[in-house]
Amino acid sequence: MEIARRAVELASDKQAEDVILLDARQAASYTDYIVICSAESDRQLDAIHREILDNLKKNSILPYKSEGSSDSGWMLVDYIGVVIHIFSRELRDYYNLESVFEKAPRLLTIQ
């Protein structure tokens, strides 16, 4: 849970939009928490991604996997118990993960 909360803080520090933290323990078998946020531009998407990776790395927390690129509009960082999705607005609307995990309780929402 600490990694998830820290990721939310770091994304917010980079002005990520519509940041949500979901408790996915009952909704997904592959992770405990899901963080979803949006960026207004490729540059901001990359900045959010880099901020999370760099800051957690300072505390010796390394991702299991990191995928995507800023120009794809979707970047994912997997810390095993926490999966972070950073979307462009358009792709977030398209994939609508919030509806996929509608049964997962929202622990936090930052507009």
pLDDT tens by residue, 14-46: 999 999 999 998 887 888 999 999 999 999 999
Strand partners, 66: 77
* Segments forming the whole domain that contains residue 98: 2-110
Question: How many whole angstroms separate alpha carbon 21 and alpha carbon 18?
Answer: 10
Domain count, the chain: 1
Give φ, ψ of 85 to 5 degrees.
-110, 125
Total-model pTM: 0.93
Question: How many whole angstroms separate alpha carbon 28 and alpha carbon 13?
Answer: 28
Which residue has tokens 């299991």?
64
HSE-up of residue 81 (Cα within 13 Å, Cβ side): 7
| pLDDT value at 54 more than 90 | yes
> Residue 74 sits in a domain of what CATH number?
3.30.460.10
